[in-house]
């Protein structure tokens, strides 16, 4: 009797459809702190030239999401893809690969001038100033003497000096005056217009949707809504009370995931 020949093939790697042609793609991310899970199967993508805003009430997991995307925090499962390839495991390696991360809080070298702070970043001072022109008159000032808003301009400018392919920014506008918030978000828009894929976490929802192309709303670590800002603008109040106020944060915990509800 002739035996059956079984040819063992390596299974083809499963590449999510969005991963291949987007600058940043995350698939089914789960992460947490110790035994406490925070993110549950979060998937998203950001294309080059887009600003995408992550919105959600306090404690929804927005910062945790950005940290996992940046490689600053491990995943318990899921995969991050950068430019169609599985992302390197660490923040340092992702930075070398063209990802820039502005974490929450201002990190500037207080004793150095604004100009020297910019020179410390990988990249070009000129490029940074094209995106954040508000820093031009402040180049010689020690960073420690800049206002909170100016320090935030500097954090953003350092991140964009290298012309990142992907820019992640967490709560750039926290505690800042409305005019500065507008200016920071405009700089974020400029970074995208120059080709970056930009993902921001932002509490100022109404300001954010003026510059963002799309949003994801996170509640209790899950994406509960996603859509183009053009589609949600008219229904912002309804969406704010359903998803964005802390009291509205899903007491039942069972919002369905989907696109902008009809």
Nearest distance from C-beta of residue 246 to ligand ATP, angstroms: 9
Rounded CA-CA distance 144/108 in Å is 8
Closer residue to ligand ATP, CB minimum distance, 56 or 162: 56
Cα 1 to the chain's mean position, in Å?
A: 62
Residue 15 or 72 having the CB closest to ligand ATP: 72
Question: Minimum CB separation from ligand ATP for residue 243, in Å?
Answer: 12
> Least distance to ligand ATP from the beta carbon of 134, Å?
25
CB of 63 to ligand ATP, least distance (A): 3
Question: CA-CA distance, 215 to 195, in Å (whole number)?
Answer: 18
Number of residues that bind ligand ATP (CB under 6 A): 10
Cα–Cα–Cα angle for 174, 202, 241, rounded to 5 degrees: 110
The nearest distance, CB 218 to ligand ATP, in angstroms, is 7
- Tell me how far apart the alpha carbons of residues 194 and 161 are, in angstroms, rounded to a whole number: 12
Q: Between 42 and 71, how does the x/- string for binding to ligand ATP read (CB under 6 A)?
A: --------------x-xxxxxxx-------
Residues of this chain, 10-49, that bind ligand ATP according to CB under 6 A: 33, 38
Ordered alpha helix ranges (H), 82-144 = 91-96, 114-120, 125-131
Question: Is the CB of 117 or the CB of 216 nearer to ligand ATP?
Answer: 216
Contacts of 43 (CB under 8 A, 6+ apart): 16, 26, 27, 28, 29, 223
174 vs 188: CA distance, rounded Å: 15
Which CB, 63 or 79, lies closer to ligand ATP? 63
Residues making contact with ligand ATP (CB under 6 A): 33, 38, 56, 58-64
């Amino acid at each position: 009797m002739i035996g059956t020949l079984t040819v063992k093939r390596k299974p083809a790697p499963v590449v999510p459809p969005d991963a291949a042609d987007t600058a940043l793609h995350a698939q089914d991310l789960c992460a947490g702190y110790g035994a406490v899970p925070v993110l549950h199967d979060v998937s998203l993508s950001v294309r080059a030239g887009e600003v995408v805003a992550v919105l959600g009430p306090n404690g929804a997991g927005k910062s945790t999401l950005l940290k996992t995307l940046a490689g600053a925090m491990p995943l318990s499962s899921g995969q991050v893809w950068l430019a169609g390839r599985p992302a390197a495991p660490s923040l340092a390696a992702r930075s070398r690969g063209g990802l820039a991360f502005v974490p929450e809080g201002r990190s500037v070298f207080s004793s150095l001038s604004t100009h020297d702070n910019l020179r410390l970043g990988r990249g070009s001072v000129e490029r940074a100033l094209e995106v954040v022109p508000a820093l031009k008159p402040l180049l010689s000032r020690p960073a420690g003497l800049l206002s909170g808003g100016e320090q935030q301009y500097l954090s953003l400018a350092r991140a964009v000096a290298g012309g990142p392919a992907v820019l992640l920014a967490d709560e750039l506008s926290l505690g800042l005056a409305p005019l500065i918030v507008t200016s920071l978000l405009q700089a974020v828009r400029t970074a995208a217009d120059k080709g970056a894929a930009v993902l921001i976490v932002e509490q100022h929802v109404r300001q954010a949707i003026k510059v963002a192309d799309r949003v994801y709303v996170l509640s209790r670590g899950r994406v509960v809504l996603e859509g183009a800002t053009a589609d949600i603008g008219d229904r912002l109040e309804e969406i704010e009370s359903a998803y964005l106020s802390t009291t509205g944060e899903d007491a039942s915990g069972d919002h369905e995931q989907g696109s902008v509800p009809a």
